[in-house]
Each structure stands twice: as structure tokens, then as C-alpha cells.
């Protein structure tokens, strides 16, 4: 019998005998409340099946273990109900607060300043030398900081999480930290670092050799996001729907769910049109509520964004008018809302803009917005210059789909950039310019019965506008 089997057999024996205190002592010896990380998740069912009814109200250690198991299997609301059961007979310790924090991030609930301060102070209560506890705390706080769009703080605490997980010998948990870091990099348009973090995540996942619920889908979601950013999205809608279902039933966090919703909806829009994209988002909103117990303002932002791209600017204006960014709780949602603001009010937004070397996405968007302003002022040379600047910045990260945000502007010069002297002597830049031109040209969708006529991009734009009920005046303005 192995050490793990010995521990499990002894815990089960104590529980069957009704000696909860003896079982707790064995659990503490086996690694403490988060003993699943040392004994293995597969042991939890056997242990819980032997536990007496109501043990979660009597024992903090077993309550924590049950909550963690529930969260891993997509039942965070059930875990929250256990935490706040009024029949609890023990006095909560720092372990309880840490578990409360972990359940909170899986539900994706609102964060107030009082909560944030209490969680930040929790670090001082953690026992020295308990690397697993510290790692779980840093892991949870990086998610909180990310949801508040405090990405610099999230990255710093992610480094602490990696260090403590390394000391605790927990490659499975290091896998999750690299997923988060990849997600942060994608939000800022740093796609090459994102790929590096994803490869590191896969390496740690292989070392850990543990798969409990939706780990593979979490990883695939981020690889699909990189595909989308590169302008390769034909395969995304089908995969995004399946991944979304896995995230509802398994392990996930709100931001990864929103990212899957974004790439799935935008891919559908560029492949099949606005109506199907909005129908997909409605399904996402229902599933988000099932998984997290609330509706997502970020998913509403994605829908408003798609309507704006499709020429329905009033809907985007209405959304932004009522928007409270502090209630967004999503870096992706904030990026989308800022993109809409930039497109609707470019001059006022650009006045406040400062170049940020860390944020490639915002730098590309600012150049494209300046190109749009130059176009409206009939300054064609200036417009082209700003599009060229955007292509130079984005090419390093292979971030092609961002040009679809301003396809009406970029399409006026993209064919010239793809074939002219702009990128002469720079193979990578020339290839990227051609890639952008190809993606924009293919992004105008005609109904299947019209596709055989090989319509031009301009004709497709008019056809799309007519399909959506646009008046002649409205179509002329948009064109």
C-alpha cells in the first residue's frame, strides 16, 4: 500500500467510526485543508462518501475540501451555499477566508473596496513556510486584480504565485498561472509572450499529469484566441460552442468565459453576419449566468460592439451612455468599451491618449483611429501613413484581426500596401500587409445564394446594410 492509499484508508476508517477529530488530524498530517493537492483529487469522492452527514458544518477542514471539489466541477454556487450555512459550529480561521476568496473568483462576483482591503490583509495571516497556502492566495488575488483591470498588479502577484508553487512542488497549479499570464498578454496585444506562456502551461500540465475537468478546454480557448487575433477564425465558432459548454460544467473563471464569447461571436459575425452572432451571445449570457450566477456586462459590451461594427451606432452610444466601467469586472470588456468610445469620439479620446510600450493593442488602435480622423478630413496621405504605422506595430505580434475594427478605412489602402513599396525589402511586413488585406476582403459576407456572383467588397457592404434594413441615407453615411 502506498503512502497516499494509507492516508486515505486511515481517514476513511476514522470517518466511518464517527471520529471526525481523528480524521482531521490525519488530514493535517497529509497536507492540511487543501489535501487534494497532495493526496490527489480522485481520493476526494472516497473520503466524502465515508463522511457523516453535516460534516461541513462541523469541520472547517472538510468544508474547505468540499468547496474546492465543488468549484473544480463547476458548482461554485453550491460551494458558496456551504460556506454561508448558518448551521456552522466552528469558528472560521484564515483558511475559511481564503476559501471564500477562491469561491468568489470562480463565481465572478462584484468586488467592493472593503472586500479588496480585507483580502489584501489576508496575506499577513498566512502561516510562514506554507507555500501551497501562499500560492493559492496569490493565485486568487491575481484573478481579483485582473477583474479590476489592474494588470500590472496581477502580473507581479502572478510571479509570486509561480515562485511559491515551485517551492510547493505543484506543477498543476503553475499551469493555471501561465494560463492567466497568457490571457493578460492577449488583452494587451502581446501575442508572442502569450504563446510562450501557453507553451509553458502545456509543459507544466504534462508534468503534473492531472486532468480533473476542463483543463484542456481552458488551454484550447486561449490558443483559439491567438488564432482569432491572427485572422484565422473559420474553425472557431464550432470549437467555441463546445469549449463554452465544458467551462459551464467544469473549472473556469469569468474572464476566460468572456474571451470565448468574444472570439466566438466576432468569428460568427465575420462569417455569417450580425443576427447569428447576437444569437450566439444570448446563449453565452445564459451559460454565464448558469456558471457564475449573474449576467455579464462584458458580454453586453461585445453585442453592442458587433452592432457598432455593423453600422448600428445608436446601440453602441446607448450602451456607453449607461456604462459604469467600474462594474465591468473584465479587462476584455473594458478594452471593447474603450474601442467603441475611440471609434465614436476619436478626437476627444485621442487627446488623452499616451503611448504605452506595454500595450500593443491600444497603440495599434490609436493609429487606426487617427487614420479614420484623417479620412473624415479627406487627408488621404495622412490616413495612409497612420495605417502603415498600425501595420508596423501589429506585424511584430501577428495581430491581424484588429484591422477589421477599421476595415472601412484600411480597405481603401490595404491593396496598395500589400503590393506597393511600403514593405519592399521586408518580407515579414509584406506578408503581414497581404494577410491584413486578405482578411478584410473576406470579412464582407454575402448570403450563399449571392456568393456565386463574385461580388466586390463595396457591393457586399451595400448588400449587408440592405439585409439589416438600412436606409439609403444611412448606407451612404456608413460607406
The pLDDT confidence band at residue 176, using thresholds 50, 70 and 90, is very high
**Over the stretch 338-377, which tens digit does the pLDDT of each residue have?**
888 888 888 888 877 776 667 899 999 999 999 999 988 8
pLDDT, position 463:
64
Q: Which of 5-19, 61-75, 167-181, 415-429 has the highest mean pLDDT?
A: 167-181
Distance CA 275, CA 265 (A): 10
Q: What is the pTM assigned to this prediction?
A: 0.87
pLDDT, position 300:
92
**Over the stretch 385-427, which tens digit does the pLDDT of each residue have?**
999 999 999 999 999 999 998 988 898 887 777 766 777 778 8
Torsion of CA 307, 312, 316, 318, to 10 degrees: -130
Mean pLDDT of 265-271: 94
pLDDT, position 235:
95
Amino acid at each position: 500500500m502506498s503512502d497516499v492509499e494509507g492516508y486515505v484508508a486511515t481517514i476513511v476508517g476514522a470517518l466511518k467510526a464517527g471520529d471526525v477529530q481523528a480524521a482531521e488530524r490525519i488530514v493535517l498530517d497529509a497536507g492540511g485543508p487543501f489535501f487534494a493537492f497532495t493526496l490527489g483529487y480522485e481520493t476526494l469522492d472516497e473520503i466524502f462518501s465515508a463522511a457523516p452527514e453535516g460534516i461541513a458544518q462541523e469541520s472547517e477542514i472538510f468544508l474547505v475540501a468540499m468547496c474546492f471539489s465543488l468549484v473544480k466541477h463547476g458548482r461554485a454556487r453550491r460551494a458558496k451555499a456551504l460556506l454561508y450555512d448558518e448551521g456552522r459550529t466552528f469558528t472560521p480561521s484564515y483558511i475559511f477566508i481564503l476559501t471564500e476568496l477562491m469561491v468568489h473568483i470562480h463565481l465572478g462576483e462584484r468586488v467592493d473596496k472593503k472586500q479588496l482591503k480585507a483580502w489584501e490583509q489576508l496575506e499577513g495571516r498566512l502561516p510562514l513556510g506554507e507555500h501551497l497556502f501562499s500560492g493559492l492566495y496569490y493565485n486568487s488575488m491575481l484573478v481579483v486584480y485582473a477583474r479590476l483591470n489592474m494588470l500590472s498588479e496581477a502580473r507581479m502577484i502572478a510571479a509570486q504565485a509561480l515562485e511559491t508553487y515551485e517551492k510547493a512542488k505543484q506543477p498543476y497549479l503553475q499551469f493555471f498561472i501561465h494560463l492567466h499570464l497568457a490571457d493578460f498578454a492577449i488583452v494587451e496585444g502581446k501575442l508572442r509572450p502569450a504563446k510562450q506562456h501557453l507553451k509553458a502551461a502545456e509543459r507544466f500540465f504534462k508534468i503534473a499529469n492531472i486532468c480533473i475537468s476542463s483543463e484542456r478546454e481552458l488551454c484550447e480557448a486561449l490558443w483559439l484566441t491567438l488564432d482569432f487575433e491572427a485572422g484565422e477564425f473559420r474553425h472557431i465558432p464550432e470549437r467555441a460552442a463546445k469549449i463554452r459548454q465544458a467551462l459551464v460544467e467544469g473549472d473556469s473563471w469569468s474572464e476566460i468565459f468572456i474571451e470565448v464569447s468574444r472570439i466566438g461571436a466576432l468569428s460568427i459575425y465575420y462569417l455569417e453576419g450580425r443576427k447569428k452572432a447576437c444569437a450566439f451571445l444570448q446563449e453565452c449570457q445564459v451559460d454565464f449566468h448558469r456558471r457564475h450566477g449573474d449576467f455579464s456586462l462584458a458580454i453586453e459590451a461585445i453585442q453592442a460592439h458587433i452592432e457598432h461594427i455593423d453600422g448600428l451606432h445608436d446601440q453602441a452610444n446607448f450602451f456607453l451612455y449607461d456604462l459604469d466601467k467600474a462594474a465591468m469586472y473584465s479587462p476584455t470588456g473594458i478594452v471593447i468599451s474603450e474601442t467603441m468610445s475611440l471609434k465614436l469620439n476619436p478626437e476627444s479620446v485621442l487627446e488623452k491618449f499616451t503611448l504605452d510600450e506595454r500595450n500593443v493593442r491600444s497603440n495599434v488602435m490609436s493609429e487606426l483611429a487617427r487614420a479614420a480622423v484623417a479620412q473624415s478630413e479627406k487627408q488621404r496621405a495622412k490616413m495612409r501613413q497612420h495605417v502603415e504605422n498600425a501595420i508596423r506595430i501589429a506585424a511584430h505580434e501577428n495581430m491581424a484581426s484588429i484591422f477589421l475594427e477599421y476595415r472601412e478605412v484600411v480597405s481603401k489602402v490595404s491593396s496598395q500596401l500589400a503590393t506597393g513599396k511600403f514593405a519592399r525589402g521586408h518580407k515579414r511586413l509584406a506578408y503581414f500587409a497581404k494577410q491584413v488585406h486578405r482578411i478584410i476582403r473576406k470579412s464582407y459576407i454575402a448570403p450563399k445564394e449571392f456568393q456565386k456572383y463574385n461580388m466586390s467588397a463595396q457591393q457586399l457592404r451595400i448588400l449587408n446594410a440592405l439585409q439589416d434594413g438600412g436606409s439609403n441615407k444611412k448606407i451612404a453615411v456608413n460607406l
